[in-house]
Amino acid sequence: MSTKPLAAFDANVRLGRLANSRGPWFRGADELLAAMDELGVDRALVYGALAKESDVLRGNALLQEQIQGEARLIPCWVGIPNREPCRDLIARMREHSIPALRLFPQTSHFSIRPWCCEALAKALSEEGKVLMVDFDGPGWSNDGIDWEGIQQLCLAVPELKLVVCGVTMASPPNYEAFIRQCPNLHLEISELVSPGEIKRLVEAGLGLQLIFGSNLPKRHAGAALTMVGLENLKAEARDLILNGNLQRLLMLSEENEPVVPIREIPHFPDVVDTHVHFGGWNYSAAASGRPADTVRDMDRCGIQSAIVTSLWSCFGEVPLGNADVAEATKAFPGRIYGYLTLDPKHPDEFREQIDRYRGDPGFRGIKLHCGTHGIRLNDPQCREILEFANEKKIPLLIHEEFDLPEWKDLCLSHPDATFIVAHVGGGGPDHAPARELARLSRTVDNLYFDLAATRNFYGFLEDLVELAGPEKILYGSDHPLMDFGFELGQIFFSGIGEAEKQMILSGNARRIFKLN
Ligand SMILES: [Zn+2]
């Protein structure tokens, strides 16, 4: 066994600016290396933004110029099948010592299936080069990956070293069907956020097929690092995922000592997750959403308390889900608290639910999932619930993409209720509304937001803290859709102060929900 300090080798990093990017980006090697130092990432496989979006030839050449002489940055060219004879591309890759080629089938409008990519895949395979495939998926539950095409390509070129980037929680049913038959198929884990999925794959003997990647600078590398770090993997399996597997694929000579050792996952004594679910959402396969399993996952990730709403209630079985939550608050006192989830479209039912759980100390707030229940928050049917929350000074967690002036009016007209906007209203750095919401929350006392499923945009938390102030931000995970560690990572690894981190991790929640 190696005694070397553990290092992280990031398979998924971009240099240069994308046209529509409002988030941070790396102008050159110096900026990228400084970020890697900060994050505890030793080496990175890097592709160029210009090569992805505009011009593979000029973009790949630009990448070469930008990272020349930097041993920690390994170049990955971007390619397009059938643009030129394969032997010409391979010859140039050989000449410039390029160990990997990245394809963007979605962005560049081609198919990954053998009829289009087999010749290129064979040429890469014969040369021992790695093929990175990135479908640049549209969302957390939709990675846009053509799994049928990937499967066909793996079977057509079995020696091809293939890495599929951006695999999300929606993919396990697809890759599960054939990953064991394709030992050269590898999954890059930046979006593989289902709780326990990485460990499940390791225990199934598939640890050699997992590759650490962050998708910097879009995503925060702290997210994937924290997820892996909290998985309780054996050191050997963890080192392979974080470093060894990619090094082996790229056939790089082993480094003696990492320049930058990996950062320890920090320990915070108190963490309260304000956005947890029981029940399942069919996209997310790994976690059960059963209370005992959730508490076990909380123990693994250092979460003291969680405030939970049932997914059954967020869909059609509102009383069934609330009963499940009520039972869990009694089975796990102090660990599990509940939101009473209500569907404003059914007044008889929500009045009965309010009566049933009135005075139950397990419930600390109300959840309105306007998204799944298909009702706007300014619909007259919501009025009675909002007035009740205002009268009883109850916090409301609300999932709705709502206009800012509407939020402002709502908060001001219900000054004794606390409004928590789930998922920062659903936006990341390319969503100006999230920033506007954060800005508004600084001036509206009873307006807060949670970080659940905001998906760790790099630099986003620092922006939110600056715009809203740390006292307006709540840690939330969206477990069991996402691992606790995924959103913890952006807080743990962010550049904000320790006191601010503690406010976001638990202080604000304990104050708002009156938890002891
Ligand atoms: Zn949620």
Tell me what pLDDT residue 429 has.
Answer: 59
Q: How far is the CA of 275 from the centre of ligand 1 (A)?
A: 6
Strand order through the sheet with 210-211: 9-15, 43-48, 73-79, 100-103, 130-134, 161-165, 185-188, 210-211
Task: Kindly list the protein residues that place their beta carbon closer than 5 angstroms to ligand 1, a single-atom ion.
Answer: 478
Q: How far is the CA of 332 from the centre of ligand 1 (A)?
A: 21
Q: Which residue in 254, 262, 276, 272 sits closest to 225, CA to CA?
A: 262
Q: How far is the CA of 54 from the centre of ligand 1 (A)?
A: 37
Q: Span 42-54, mean pLDDT? A: 97
Tell me what pLDDT residue 89 has.
Answer: 97
Which band of pLDDT confidence, cut at 50, 70 and 90, is reported for residue 424?
A: confident
Q: How far is the CA of 206 from the centre of ligand 1 (A)?
A: 30
Q: How far is the CA of 417 from the centre of ligand 1 (A)?
A: 20
Cβ within 8 Å of residue 176, ≥6 positions away: none
Phi, psi of 338, deg, nearest 5: -120, 155
Cβ within 8 Å of residue 496, ≥6 positions away: 461, 462, 465, 470
Neighbours of 260 (CB within 10 A): 18
Q: How far is the CA of 186 from the centre of ligand 1 (A)?
A: 29
pLDDT at 10 over 90: yes
Tell me what pLDDT residue 428 has.
Answer: 58
pLDDT at 3 over 60: no
Q: How far is the CA of 274 from the centre of ligand 1 (A)?
A: 10
What are 198-204's contacts with CB under 8 Å, separation 24+? 198/227, 198/228, 198/231, 198/233, 198/241, 199/231, 199/232, 199/233, 200/286, 202/231, 202/233, 202/237, 202/241, 204/180
Q: How far is the CA of 367 from the centre of ligand 1 (A)?
A: 10
Q: How far is the CA of 452 from the centre of ligand 1 (A)?
A: 7
Q: How far is the CA of 210 from the centre of ligand 1 (A)?
A: 27
Q: How far is the CA of 423 from the centre of ligand 1 (A)?
A: 8
Q: How far is the CA of 135 from the centre of ligand 1 (A)?
A: 25
Q: How far is the CA of 216 from the centre of ligand 1 (A)?
A: 25
pLDDT digits (tens, 9 = 90+) for 291-320: 999 999 999 999 999 999 999 999 999 999
Q: How far is the CA of 252 from the centre of ligand 1 (A)?
A: 42
Q: Is the dihedral of CA 232, 38, 493, 422 positive or negative?
A: negative
Look at the block and give the residue holding tokens 């089938």.
Answer: 105
pLDDT digits (tens, 9 = 90+) for 444-458: 999 999 999 887 889
Domain 9-250 architecture? Alpha-Beta Barrel (3.20)
Q: How far is the CA of 41 from the centre of ligand 1 (A)?
A: 31
Q: How far is the CA of 298 from the centre of ligand 1 (A)?
A: 16
Tell me what pLDDT residue 404 has.
Answer: 84
pLDDT at 83 over 80: yes
Q: How far is the CA of 381 from the centre of ligand 1 (A)?
A: 22
Q: How far is the CA of 501 from the centre of ligand 1 (A)?
A: 22
Please, where in the chain does CATH 3.20.20.140 lie?
9-250, 272-513
Q: How far is the CA of 416 from the centre of ligand 1 (A)?
A: 24
CA distance linking residue 384 with residue 192, whole number of Å: 40
Q: In the CATH scheme, what is the code of domain 272-513?
A: 3.20.20.140
pLDDT at 285 over 80: no
Which band of pLDDT confidence, cut at 50, 70 and 90, is reported for residue 26?
A: very high
pLDDT digits (tens, 9 = 90+) for 168-226: 988 999 999 999 999 999 999 999 999 999 999 999 999 999 999 999 999 999 999 99
pLDDT digits (tens, 9 = 90+) for 360-395: 999 999 999 998 999 999 899 999 999 999 999 999
Angle at 146 between CA 144 and CA 151, to 5 degrees: 145
Phi, psi of 81, deg, nearest 5: -65, 145
Tell me what pLDDT residue 1 has.
Answer: 44
What is the 3-state secondary structure of 26-72? CCCHHHHHHHHHHHCCCEEEEEEHHHHHCCHHHHHHHHHHHHCCCCC
H runs (alpha helix) in 68-128:
86-95, 114-127
pLDDT at 251 over 50: yes
Tell me what pLDDT residue 352 has.
Answer: 98
| Cβ atoms 49, 15 nearer than 8 A | yes
pTM, 2 dp: 0.95
Tell me what pLDDT residue 74 has.
Answer: 97
CA distance linking residue 235 with residue 129, whole number of Å: 28
Which band of pLDDT confidence, cut at 50, 70 and 90, is reported for residue 430?
A: low
Q: How far is the CA of 368 from the centre of ligand 1 (A)?
A: 11
**Percent of the chain, pLDDT > 70?**
97
pLDDT digits (tens, 9 = 90+) for 222-240: 999 999 999 999 999 999 9
Q: How far is the CA of 277 from the centre of ligand 1 (A)?
A: 7
Mean pLDDT of the chain: 93
Q: How far is the CA of 422 from the centre of ligand 1 (A)?
A: 7
Q: How far is the CA of 215 from the centre of ligand 1 (A)?
A: 23
